[in-house]
């Protein structure tokens, strides 16, 4: 197990080099920690830099995490299994997600999570640019006890129970030109009370990427801070399936959900094989190609700090 340092995980590993992150590199942390440990969740951390964080967390049936959390970066979840109800404590907005669905929590939005189902919940999470304020290793718990409920009264000076009307979220037929502003223009994400946004299957922006070797990308969300979604790299025909060479201005983390993903760095020819529940980290402006040598498609969750 690697030492946890938010903004530098795996600890003492250069973040300007591509790397596979497996069981031996992961670290664990709770939110919250000592003060509210009885209402915490356990998080598995793969990568945390000054620009991108990716991991997963689980909630047992009937469990929750509280007090409400908030981050300096945009946060996204992709539900791998089970069911999750996420709540914005200022507006009282509650969203229930099922496996295969995603949620966007704009930076600064206060949120808490519940598992009201009979099954374990597991979700991949990603944040950009930061999970905690730079130089900080603890999470804010300043919203303890501040939660909007029916008949909850008001807290003078807090503005906690100010009225927030229902928000009508438009549904667009997306094109590649909407990258960076999906599902809505970025300024809409920043309006108070910073509504949580859920991407059901029909809400995702699907892009076929690559000229010679196309594969499917499904963007759940694409903001000025984070691009988050799924990669579907199908199995091959007569030969293995590959992608065209590509690189991104920002950092990239790819969590393999099913199948086996191989990645080659075009400049050095360094090659990696990523198993399910492992992550491939690719630094900014590093060119790579993906390969699928198996008899099943690769399904992976990606997070990028910039395209």
pLDDT tens digits, the chain, 307 residues: what are they?
A: 567 899 999 998 999 999 999 999 999 999 988 888 888 899 999 999 999 999 999 999 999 998 889 999 999 999 999 999 999 988 889 999 999 999 999 999 999 999 999 999 999 999 999 999 888 888 888 888 777 777 765 554 455 556 777 888 888 899 999 999 999 999 999 998 899 999 999 999 999 999 999 999 999 999 999 999 999 999 987 789 999 999 999 999 999 999 999 999 999 999 999 999 999 999 999 999 999 999 999 999 999 999 9
**Would you say domain 202-304 falls under CATH 2.60.120.10?**
yes
Q: What is the pLDDT of residue 150?
A: 78
For residue 89, give the 3-state DSSP assignment: coil
Residue intervals of the chain classified under CATH 2.60.120.10 are 19-134+175-199, 202-304
Q: What is the CATH number of domain 19-134+175-199?
A: 2.60.120.10
Task: Give the list of residues 6+ apart from residue 140 with CB closer than 8 angstroms, or none.
Answer: 69, 70
- Structure-token match 């903001």, residue found: 223
Structure tokens at 251: 């950092």
Backbone angles phi, psi at 256, to 5 degrees: -85, 120
CA distance 113 to 105: 12
- Map 205-242 to HEC letters: EEEEECCCCCEEEEEEEECCCCEEEEEEECCCCCCCEE
Structure tokens at 49: 């830099």
Closest to 254 measured CA to CA, from 272, 281, 233, 273: 281
pTM over 0.85: yes
């Amino acid at each position: 197990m690697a030492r946890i340092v938010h903004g530098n995980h795996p600890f003492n590993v250069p973040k300007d080099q591509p790397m596979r992150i497996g069981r031996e590199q992961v670290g664990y942390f709770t939110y919250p920690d000592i003060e509210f440990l009885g209402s915490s969740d356990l998080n598995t951390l793969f990568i945390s830099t000054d620009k991108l964080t990716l991991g997963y967390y689980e909630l047992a049936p009937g469990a929750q995490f509280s007090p409400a959390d908030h981050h300096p970066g945009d946060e996204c979840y992709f539900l791998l299994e089970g069911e999750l109800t996420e709540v914005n404590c200022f507006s009282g907005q509650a969203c229930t997600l099922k496996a295969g669905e995603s949620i966007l929590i704009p930076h600064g939005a206060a949120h808490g999570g519940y598992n009201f189902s009979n099954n374990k919940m597991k979700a991949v999470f990603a944040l950009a640019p930061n999970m905690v304020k730079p130089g900080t290793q603890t999470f804010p718990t300043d919203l303890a006890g501040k939660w909007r409920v029916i008949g909850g009264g008001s807290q003078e000076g807090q503005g906690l129970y100010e009225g927030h009307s229902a928000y009508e979220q438009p549904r667009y037929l997306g094109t590649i030109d909407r990258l960076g502003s999906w599902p809505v223009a970025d300024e809409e994400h920043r309006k108070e009370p910073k509504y949580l946004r859920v991407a059901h299957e029909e809400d995702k922006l699907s892009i076929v990427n690559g000229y010679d070797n196309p594969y499917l990308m499904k963007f759940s969300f694409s903001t000025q801070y984070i691009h988050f979604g799924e990669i579907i790299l199908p199995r091959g025909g007569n030969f293995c399936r590959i992608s065209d060479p590509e690189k991104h201005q920002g950092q990239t983390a790819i969590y393999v959900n099913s199948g086996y993903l191989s990645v080659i760095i075009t400049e050095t020819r360094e090659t990696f094989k990523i198993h399910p529940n492992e992550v491939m980290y690719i630094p900014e402006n590093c060119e790579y190609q993906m390969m699928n040598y198996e008899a099943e498609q690769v399904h992976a969750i990606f997070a990028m700090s910039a395209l």
